[in-house]
Amino acid sequence: MAGGRPREFDVDEALDQAVRVFWQRGYEGAALSDLTEAMGINRPSLYAAFGNKESLFRKALDHYTDQKAVHVRDALDEPTARAAAERMLRGAVEVSTQPGCPAGCLSLQGGLAMGEDAVATRERLADWRRSGEAGLRDRFERAKADGDLPADVDAADLAKFVVLVAQGISVQAADGVDRERLHRMVDIALTSWPA
Amino acid sequence: MAGGRPREFDVDEALDQAVRVFWQRGYEGAALSDLTEAMGINRPSLYAAFGNKESLFRKALDHYTDQKAVHVRDALDEPTARAAAERMLRGAVEVSTQPGCPAGCLSLQGGLAMGEDAVATRERLADWRRSGEAGLRDRFERAKADGDLPADVDAADLAKFVVLVAQGISVQAADGVDRERLHRMVDIALTSWPA
DNA sequence: CAGGTTGTTGACCGTTCGGTACAGAATCGG
DNA sequence: CCGATTCTGTACCGAACGGTCAACAACCTG
């Protein structure tokens, strides 16, 4: 069938830059001119390849999930519930303080509160945050069945607490706290781990 | 000297509404038309009374500090360090889930990441968050001197951890978690309290 | 090389943004 | 009652926003 002029930019590299801009400026704070400049492409190229701004953010968030927030998935493979929690939290520290990336995590920097026209994006981010918690809760349920966690602990509460701490870490990182101090926060959080 | 036409609106009530709008929409997501509509005044009245948008946000944040975030100050008056921490966290839960107010707290809903032109406001919010931590740290230092806290605990780290949990609570509240569950999060966080 | 297809480019669209100018209305001191 | 002063309402400003049109360039198939 068809040929057509080949794309002059790499979609993944462009998404990398889009992630960076959204990460640093937030969804609403990231202007299209910021995005196109960072991605090194013109506006129509952006729209042809990624749709509109909301759709670009969706793709950037997926990209971020696969590339930066891998600890959210990988933590579930740890042999114990405690190791899973620790990997989750250490991963949050590392991602939130990665050199060359904006401080904090995209899921919070993207935006908690937004204008009326961005409600869908706000809800998408909230869902993203909740999804990490769901995986952890299932993992902790399994740990209870395995006897890895005491039967009287509430897996849902524990998962929520771990995610809550991870989010606190991201906020602190956004406010400029360095890696070592954040790892000490993880130490403190984990001292409450159920025996 | 002077007389002048009297103001037809109450400044504090207008600030109440401004706080609500910024709280729900964030600094950038709150359009001036949203603000004037909620405050029940016209644009020139807003500018005459509060200056520009950034200045209005500053005043709204002060208003919020005095009226909603009182637990941040009051916690320091508690007799023990642990009671201070608990009051801080319980207060965060209450404020973040207050009926009739947006979920979460203004210091995070206001915005973590912003566009280039709002850097000053972003930094102001970050300073606000840090200031609460500073008060708590001083309180914990005093507790160490009093023997209320063990000598080997790091007051700065402990204060940072408490604030970190409070911020996590606000994020969770923004994502729709209810009061009881958040109070259980406080329970978990406090099990790591130094003996 | 011709025709179809797809990407790039630059100029441009309507809308909304934060912020103001100006005229009228309400109060003061004299 | 009068001038000075301050607030209110409408209408408006330039700039920036997200999004698109139309001409051109680069590739495919035949």
pLDDT reading at B3 higher than 90: no
Residues A77 and A41 in one domain: no
Q: Which nucleotides of D are covered by protein (CB under 7 A)?
A: 3-11, 16-22, 25-29
CB-nearest to A112 from B104, B114, B169 is: B104
B-chain residue closest to A166, CA distance: B168
Residues B134 and B53 in one domain: no
Residue A163 tokens, joined: 């995610």
Indicate yes or no: CB of B188 within 8 angstroms of CB of A185.
no
Residues A94 and A50 in one domain: no
Domain hosting A23: range is 11-64
Residue B1 maps to a domain: no
CATH of the domain at B142: 1.10.357.10
Residue B122 maps to a domain: yes
Q: If DSSP codes are grouped into helix, strand and coil, which group holds residue A110?
A: coil
What's the rounded Cα separation, in Å, for the pair B191 and A166?
18
What's the rounded Cα separation, in Å, for the pair B183 and B189?
10
DSSP string for residues in A43-72 = HHHHHHHH-SHHHHHHHHHHHHHHHT-HHH
Residue B34: phi and psi, rounded to 5, are -60, -45
Place of tokens 């759709």: A55
Q: Is A119 exposed, middle or buried (0-12, 13-18, 19+ CB in 10 A)?
A: exposed
Residue B84 maps to a domain: yes
DSSP string for residues in B45-67 = HHHHHH-SHHHHHHHHHHHHHHH
**Distances from the Cα of A156 to the Cα of A27, A132, B129, B186, angstroms:** 30, 12, 28, 15
Report the number of distinct structural domains present in chain B. Answer: 2
CATH of the domain at B38: 1.10.10.60
pLDDT tens digits, A25-50: 999 999 999 999 999 999 999 999 99
CA nearest neighbour of A83 among A71, A94, A95: A71
Residue A36 maps to a domain: yes
For C29, which residue's CA is nearest its C1'? B1
Residues A77 and A59 in one domain: no
Q: How sure is the predictor about B31, in pLDDT bands with cuts at 50, 70 and 90?
A: very high
**What residues of A are in contact with residue B26 (Cβ under 8 Å)?**
28, 111-115
Residues B166 and B184 in one domain: yes
Residue A5 maps to a domain: no
**What residues of A are in contact with residue B24 (Cβ under 8 Å)?**
113
| Cβ contact B96:B169 at 8 Å | yes
Residues A100 and A177 in one domain: yes
What's the rounded Cα separation, in Å, for the pair B77 and B83?
9
Residues A178 and A91 in one domain: yes
Choose one of A64, A87, A107: the last residue of a domain: A64
Neighbours of A53 (CB within 10 A): 20
Residue A39 maps to a domain: yes
pLDDT reading at B140 higher than 60: yes
Residues A57 and A119 in one domain: no
What's the rounded Cα separation, in Å, for the pair B159 and B8?
44
**What residues of A are in contact with residue B118 (Cβ under 8 Å)?**
29
What nucleotide is nearest A1 when CA is compared to C1'?
Answer: D29
pLDDT given at position A1? 58
What's the rounded Cα separation, in Å, for the pair B185 and B192?
12
pLDDT reading at A86 higher than 70: yes
Q: CB neighbours of A19 closer than 8 A, spacing ≥ 6? A: A60, A63, A64, A67, A68, A106
Residues A107 and A181 in one domain: yes
B-chain residue closest to A123, CA distance: B175
ipTM (interface pTM)? 0.96
Choose one of A19, A43, A64: the last residue of a domain: A64
pLDDT reading at A56 higher than 60: yes
Residues B35 and B107 in one domain: no
% of chain A beyond a pLDDT of 70: 99
**Distances from the Cα of A77 to the Cα of A87, A88, A189, B43, angstroms:** 10, 11, 21, 56
Residue A113 maps to a domain: yes
Instruction: Strand D: list protein residues with Cβ under 7 Å.
Output: A 1-6, 30-34, 43-44, 47, 52-54; B 2-9, 41-45, 48-49, 115
What's the rounded Cα separation, in Å, for the pair A49 and B74?
53
Mean pLDDT (whole number) for B88-99: 98
Residue A2 maps to a domain: no
pLDDT reading at B1 higher than 70: no
What's the rounded Cα separation, in Å, for the pair A102 and A24?
5
Residues A164 and A147 in one domain: yes
pLDDT reading at A93 higher than 90: yes
Mean pLDDT (whole number) for A91-112: 98
pLDDT given at position B2? 66
pLDDT tens digits, A121-172: 999 999 999 999 999 999 999 999 999 999 999 999 999 999 999 999 999 9
CA of A50 to C1' of D22 (A): 21
pLDDT given at position B195? 80
Q: Which helix (H) or strand (E) holds B15?
A: helix B11-25
Q: How sure is the predictor about A55, in pLDDT bands with cuts at 50, 70 and 90?
A: very high
Q: Which residues of B75-101 are buried (b: 16+ CB within 10 A; e: fewer)?
A: bbebeebbebbbbbbbbbbebbbeeeb
What's the rounded Cα separation, in Å, for the pair B184 and B182?
5
What's the rounded Cα separation, in Å, for the pair A194 and A157?
12
Mean pLDDT (whole number) for A40-68: 98
Candidate from A73-77, A143-147, A183-187, B1-5 with smallest mean pLDDT: B1-5
Residue A33 tokens, joined: 């001119």
Residues B79 and B29 in one domain: no
